[in-house]
Structure 1
Amino acid sequence: MAHATVIRGVETGLADRISAFFAGLRDSHRRYKMYRQTVNELHALTDRELHDLGLHRSAIDSIALEAAYGK
């Protein structure tokens, strides 16, 4: 697995910090929307359809978390 490290200097300006804050908010909102969409789509399936996919209804939340957050 690759990791990226961002090293910020002390000279990071206020505008950069505000921009990074809002970028983080956008990313969090996008991930949450993906989580909710995954949960809603999987809950809409019947038990038979979930079984055909090899899933159990109790695993929907963990599957959605992994899809949205990689956890």
Structure 2
Amino acid sequence: MAYVNSTRVAQKGLLDRLADLKDRVLAAIQARRLYAQTVAELNALSDRDLADLGISRLGIVEVAREAAFGK
């Protein structure tokens, strides 16, 4: 004799999906603000200060991107 077990997966409703979208958008905005702030602060440093940190002017964007968005 064969038995069938089935489970129903609850799907997210429209409000749940909209809440998830809102959370993702807010996280993206926060990451972008962190990126812009990091770039501005690093650009404000002198070449000597950047050298002390081991960062070149050309590397500022990469450092800011990693700080804001990760690797």
Q: TM-score, normalised by structure 2?
A: 0.84
Aligned residue-pair number = 63
After the TM superposition, which segments of 4 or more aligned residues of structure 1 sit over 3 Å from their partners?
Answer: none
Displacement of 1:11: 1.6
Q: What pairs with 1:51-62 in structure 2 (closer than 5 Å)?
A: 51-62=51-62
1:50 matched residue in structure 2: 50
1:63 matched residue in structure 2: 63
Give unpaired runs (5+ residues) of structure 2: 1-8
Task: Name the Cα RMSD after superposition.
Answer: 1.0
2:32 matched residue in structure 1: 32
Q: TM-score, normalised by structure 1?
A: 0.84
Q: Percent identity?
A: 41
Displacement of 1:10: 5.2
- Give the residue type in structure 1 aligned to 2:41: E
Structure with higher Rg: it is 2
